[in-house]
A and B are shown apart, each in its own frame.
Chain A
């Protein structure tokens, strides 16, 4: 298999510096060449600086001296400086390509600090080892294995560890985490959300062994972290691959979660009924509003995003909005051992045409495939990155951006998850359709004016 990549949609394992920044008051200490942090911060930029991100990330900025003579001394100086400078609760030392090839013994070095009582762990995240979806999980596992050593498992009733979206890689991660927390807590559980502004930071990570169970809310990322927590602390886990968008999936999610947690059905049904009443009161207006708009209604879905978002939106569009799935390009380099499982997750969708799942990391090949299609623009919706927005402009098809890179969106706490998220998706979808329809008319008129 060829490995080269045109139009990258993710970064390397060291991109997990953003995973660390997703934890309040945590600081990545990067042992790598001088340019890595900046390139990665710029690519994964939705969510701002965080606690100590972008130019504030401490780094050994390794150059020839560290490559030729080893970088352990420089790393020690950098950690010493970071401990004085940052009022942080947790430090995560991440290695880049240079340190991992040179073979600095970072593990032993960091363990020395830990023995002195410093909250610090390390992960080997050399860029050549994996992408940042895997790098994210390496950081999860590093914290679980190193920070929580010797922690006594004393269960806290109703506490749920949440392993789900990737900070900064999933563009709506902040809003998504807020929505997930709200959903989970709506049936009386307590979400140990771990990332984002509602997280209590390192204290939540220390609570991982006490959780009643872990929830892996993603097709594959987070499974290994949950398994590690089970192995080390006996915390069982529930794997629910589909991020819930809209009422159908949110209700199904809440019922599954309640059953796993042993919560009485009656309690859940009360929540579901309340949420669905609210949701469908808005949803039903779609019929009148839409038919009055004289706009086309797309119903064929092409996706080019990671497995988690692709599955979430495909499920919503197929089950609630009557879409038919065309190719689903999954860009996150799903490891081979999970691919069959991911195919099955898509095969379970009730679409008139079985979703064709294509595992493809090369954006160039995705566009070659999409360019070769014959589209009826008015019936086509692309879900993807700004690369797909540019393609949709070319085809005059519709596009919603849900994946990096995103050049044309400013996102704060937007999320398409949960009951409200389904409505938000509808708002964005139809605003997009109406605007584009008006622009198409305007352009035709302008072209006519100029005698084309």
Chain B
């Protein structure tokens, strides 16, 4: 798609990427439907709660080091401040940096603001944010209230930006804007692109941008072996780190769902090539990712040597893990591409992926290069997945599917879904938090060790399942079709 960094906002995923919210079928079929742009399914008449873009934008921007953040909404929209502050503080300690809480204020919109507008309050909050934190930039996270009452946040930000001499960046991630929470990533990254990233002043031929979450810096030691440096985006970056992103040799991401817009925009606007390979999850994907980075940085030979030595190093333990896990079946729940990545890891550990649920499915990414088609990569590297579904959390649907498929192992990315595994007595690994731990060759081992440890806790799962309670009616337990509430469903 065309990137336009002149405008404050970009189209939501449903419009931009043809996002599919409900699907039941095979991975192969979904991939074909997506390629043909046919779309399928609309949604369900009944839903359990999902998630919104505001949390996703917070997840990235609250953790930028020398900036401050304003949540321009009711106080409940700031309910995640404490969590991100804890993630931030511990992350700083982990990196040997001085610990501090996040710098964030809620404008705490009240009923009167819905009548008279929230701009004066936002102005006061911006002034207080500057006074309290002296930030190098301010992010304004919008909300349902600010969006519906129609505050001219862009105008106010531009005006105050001139007075303050620092970037003041509105992020349009109103909760009601999109059914796809990942739209909040796009909004946050669009804000960085349009107001922070500057045209390159020099080229840094050894610098690789990696879009990720707050995770361990595992890519640094690996790529350092071939003389490359890593710039982690966005958590724990400084404003200056973000400003010079266009100087990098290449951009890549731990998850296409997270970084698709950002890496594509850096490529089309500033000529920073996007690494057109699957992300480094699993053995084959990591090989391909490293090779592509090697090609873009003219380090093909060094990269081959790196792949050889890294693979050799983990081979003995990997063989043991594969032997221990052989024949086990797994089911994976995660957000779109991250589910695909984990299919790759689990298969490389010698397990069979009997099914997977992605919380949404983007029919295409901003960059439509096949190297980045993560579902196609799943098919190419390891074949089809028989029971592939798309729905957003919905533990009641998941329950019906799991009772039928009875996998040996469940992998969840989101902790609010993971309790389901325990309640069903299925060995469960929740891979929330640090996604980087599972990346690259060592990440395959790490994941395997975690799974092995989980299998040894079988008494815990049995114990919890024996005493689990569900709120559902007998009627629901009698349903064979988990998608009874779906409207306009089609697996054609």
Contact = CB atoms under 8 A, between A and B. Distances in A.
Contacts of B326: none
Given A33-B52, A42-B83, A55 B416 contact: yes
Nearest to B76: A12
B312 interface: no
Contact of A67 (B48, B86, B148, B485): B148
Contact of B78 (A8, A64, A390): A8
Interface stretch (B26-34, B100-108, B198-206, B232-240): B100-108
A84 B485 CA distance: 11
A27 B176 contact: no
B110 A3 contact: yes
Contacts of B149: 101
A405 interface: yes
A7 B51 contact: no
Contacts of A2: 124, 128
B132 A67 contact: no
Contacts of B124: 2, 4
Given A30-B49, A33-B52, A63 B419 contact: no
B476 A39 contact: no
Contacts of B471: 25, 27, 51-52, 56, 86-88
A221 B51 CA distance: 30
Interface in A1-26: 2-8, 10-15, 25
Interface in B125-178: 125, 128, 132, 143-145, 148-149, 174-178
Among B81, B113, B414, find the residue whose CB has the most chain A CB atoms closer than 10 A: B81
A43 B179 CA distance: 22
Nearest to A58: B48
Contacts of B125: 4
Interface string A62-98: 1110110000000001101110111110000000111
B80 A39 contact: yes
Nearest to B474: A87
Given A4-B128, A128-B113, A54 B108 contact: no
Interface size class on chain B is 35 or more
B77 A39 contact: yes
Given A49-B419, A80-B46, A364-B132, A33 B176 contact: yes
Nearest to B85: A7
A182 B434 CA distance: 44
B472 interface: yes
B46 A58 contact: yes
Contacts of A63: 176-179
B148 A102 contact: yes
B2 interface: no
A153 interface: no
Nearest to A385: B82
A39 B79 contact: yes
Contacts of B145: 97, 101, 127-128
Contact of A35 (B54, B75, B85, B417): B54
Given A3-B121, A12-B76, A63-B176, A78 B46 contact: yes
B75 A11 contact: yes
Contacts of A35: 50-55, 175, 181
Among B49, B121, B419, find the residue whose CB has the most chain A CB atoms closer than 10 A: B49
A216 interface: no
B111 interface: yes
B105 A364 contact: yes
Contacts of B55: 35, 38-39
A42 B79 contact: yes
A85 B473 contact: yes
Contacts of B39: none
A54 B143 CA distance: 21
Contacts of A392: none
B49 A84 contact: no
> Which 5 A-B pairs give the minimum distances between C-beta atoms?
A81-B46, A35-B52, A12-B76, A127-B74, A33-B175
26 contacts: A4-B106, A4-B125, A5-B105, A6-B104, A8-B78, A8-B79, A12-B75, A33-B144, A33-B176, A34-B49, A34-B179, A38-B416, A39-B80, A56-B396, A56-B471, A58-B47, A59-B47, A61-B49, A63-B179, A64-B176, A81-B45, A96-B144, A127-B145, A128-B111, A364-B132, A386-B82
Interface of A: 2-8, 10-15, 25, 27, 30, 33-43, 49, 51-52, 54-64, 66-67, 77-78, 80-82, 84-88, 96-98, 101-102, 126-129, 131-132, 364, 386-387, 390, 404-405, 407
Given A7-B81, A86-B471, A128-B113, 7 more contacts: A42-B79, A49-B419, A59-B48, A62-B176, A86-B472, A87-B471, A101-B114
